[in-house]
Structure 1
Amino acid sequence: MKRAAILIPARYASTRYPGKPLAELTLPDGSRKTLIRMSWDAACAVAAREDVYVATDDDRIASHCAEFGAQIVMTAPECRNGTERCAEAVTNARIEADIIVNLQGDAPLTPPWFLTALIEAMQNSDCAIATPVLRCDAQTYAHFTEDRRAGRVGGTTAVFGAQGDALYFSKEVIPWLDPARLADTAAPPVWHHVGVYAYTRAALAAYSALPPGRLEELEGLEQLRFLEHGHSIRCVEVEARGRVFWELNNPADIPRIEQALREMACPAVS
């Protein structure tokens, strides 16, 4: 059995949302919790992992995480994305797990079975990199298109081949859909890319040695570096099971996530 560790890369100097890991959300009981604490709790709910670490370059984040007992790995501010930060953290902390899971610190609604599905995919196949994808429901698709109309960068979409290997990821909504066909389905054929990755140690080490790709820089999506250099990424289909999933990309996402938390606490009765 391969051992799995979860790393949560967190930086303070986000271009779109500075200080995002320390942003507070209101829980259904009225209490407040930071985004990084919620992400830590989500990681700790995954039974298939051994250790959980927060990888950061910021003393404010490290200090806050120490208050709730997180394992912290300090990394250099020069890390350009979460994958590079995870790679450095593995070296700095001498993490010996066979599978490294990168849980982005802006996805507090990530259900534990998403991560479990990734770990199982890595256990039961020869793939070196895996990431979850979730078919959009009508509400999520509406959020995507609303963000685009408002000029905001929202979630990421994925397209993949018959064997599940990624063809492309984009911050645009792909594939394009004829609006006339949308009324005929409650689940548009668009796949929401969940910002979680699982890597073998070798794949993660190889990433940092690769130069950033042109598409990676244009889209601002770190996983495109793998595709541009010929590495396959397995897209693992996951199910929401009635849960709403949304990342915190912009301040406008806070009320969306808080509403989803209220709905999880008080599900509608049919």
Structure 2
Amino acid sequence: MTEKAVIIIPARYGSTRFEGKPLAALVGATGVSKSLIQRSWDTAMEVEGVDGVYVATDDDRIAEAARAFGAEVLMTSSDCANGTERVADALRSLPTQPDIVVNLQGDAPLTPPWFLTELLAEMRRDTTVQMATPVLRCDGLTLENFREDRRNGRVGGTTAVFNTHRDALYFSKEVLPYTDDTYAPKDETPVFHHVGAYAYRPATLTQYVNWGESALEQLEGLEQLRFLANGVPVRCVEVEARGRVFWELNNPVDVARIETVLREKGWE
């Protein structure tokens, strides 16, 4: 029997770097404008093997916009410190508890659906895994975008390093591991981009909330570090881009980057 899985997209209106980010408009190749949260929801709806897709928010503006394009909304507390806490809070509103919960962060509209399919496959293959997250080997172009952000004082994407068992050693907003080599745009690099998605067992989510924030989590602003700080392995699932460009919307400058991809790929 296949384990039941749901996707929850946490979204909050307030953001230090980008106020109102979930409602930011992204114009596609045909001139159609869709909000960031809608494009993230569109991605989730393409994932096979899930039993439900929900938007989780404490903000009425986001809830109204999500319901307008057909999403199911789970209202959460305004006290959630991050997306993982919001997903944990949203679970309480579901009539039945799933076996696996996928957190697709609402700032990654270019996430290919197969990233989440492979994440679910790993959780179903190895039932001892309590949490998993996708990682994508950076090409030279993505690595240079990371470096450009850091040079300009912007916090861009997150990198991941992991051991031979594919369990995470660390996640950082700095570019890790260090390399000063020069790479052509399509060259493979030793840097792995952490993709903004997670899969958890519900019991592990409950533990997460009870632990409270960790020191590393506060320093880096990365919620997944709470798991590492409390001794829970985070399985890194390497995924392939298959020619797709992956980039998150972290800063206003990323709107143009993502719209460029939408135009180049001919996506609505």
1:256–1:185 Cα change, 3 Å: closer
176, 179, 185: which one pairs with 1:174? 176
Q: 1:188: how far off?
A: 1.1
- 3-state secondary structure, aligned to 2:150: helix
Cα distance between partner residues in 2 of 1:59 and 1:21: 12
1:56–1:95 Cα change, 3 Å: farther
Cα distance between partner residues in 2 of 1:184 and 1:45: 29
Map 1:189-200; keep pairs closer than 5 Å. Answer: 189-200=190-201
* Of 83-92 and 184-193, the range deviating more from structure 2: 184-193
Cα distance between partner residues in 1 of 2:95 and 2:46: 23
Output one character per residue of 1:2-21: Cα deviation in whole Å (capped at 9) or x when no partner.
01100000000111111000
Q: What residue identity is the alignment partner of 2:81?
A: R
Cα distance between partner residues in 2 of 1:69 and 1:27: 19
- Give 1:27's aligned residue: 28
115, 132, 135: which one pairs with 1:133? 135
Cα distance between partner residues in 1 of 2:248 and 2:86: 19
Cα distance between partner residues in 2 of 1:84 and 1:58: 15
- 3-state secondary structure, aligned to 2:92: helix
Cα distance between partner residues in 1 of 2:96 and 2:147: 40
- On the 8 A contact 2:140/2:185 being kept in 1, the answer is no
Q: Which runs of 5+ in 1 are unaligned?
A: none
- Give 1:227's aligned residue: 228
Output one character per residue of 1:186-237: Cα deviation in whole Å (capped at 9) or x when no partner.
1110000001000011111111011211000000000000000100000000
Cα distance between partner residues in 1 of 2:25 and 2:96: 30
Cα distance between partner residues in 2 of 1:136 and 1:258: 20
Structure 1 stretches (4+) deviating beyond 3 angstroms?
A: 181-185
Map 1:145-156; keep pairs closer than 5 Å. Answer: 145-156=147-158
Cα distance between partner residues in 2 of 1:45 and 1:78: 31
1:138–1:236 Cα change, 3 Å: same
Map 1:1-270; keep pairs closer than 5 Å. Answer: 1-125=2-126, 126-179=128-181, 182=183, 186-265=187-266
- 3-state secondary structure, aligned to 1:163: coil
Output one character per residue of 1:62-97: Cα deviation in whole Å (capped at 9) or x when no partner.
011111111000001110000000000001234411
Q: What residue identity is the alignment partner of 2:8?
A: L
1:95–1:148 Cα change, 3 Å: farther
1:76–1:177 Cα change, 3 Å: same
- 3-state secondary structure, aligned to 2:136: strand
Q: What residue identity is the alignment partner of 1:18?
A: E
Output one character per residue of 1:129-168: Cα deviation in whole Å (capped at 9) or x when no partner.
0000000011100100000000000000000000000000
Cα distance between partner residues in 2 of 1:203 and 1:71: 24
Q: What residue identity is the alignment partner of 1:40?
A: W
- 3-state secondary structure, aligned to 1:255: helix
Q: What residue identity is the alignment partner of 2:204?
A: A
Q: What residue identity is the alignment partner of 1:152?
A: R
Cα distance between partner residues in 2 of 1:189 and 1:37: 33
Task: Supply the RMSD in Å over aligned alpha carbons.
Answer: 1.3
Cα distance between partner residues in 2 of 1:14 and 1:150: 19
Cα distance between partner residues in 1 of 2:157 and 2:250: 7
Cα distance between partner residues in 2 of 1:205 and 1:114: 25
Q: State the aligned residue count.
A: 265
Q: What residue identity is the alignment partner of 2:196?
A: G
Cα distance between partner residues in 1 of 2:186 and 2:40: 32
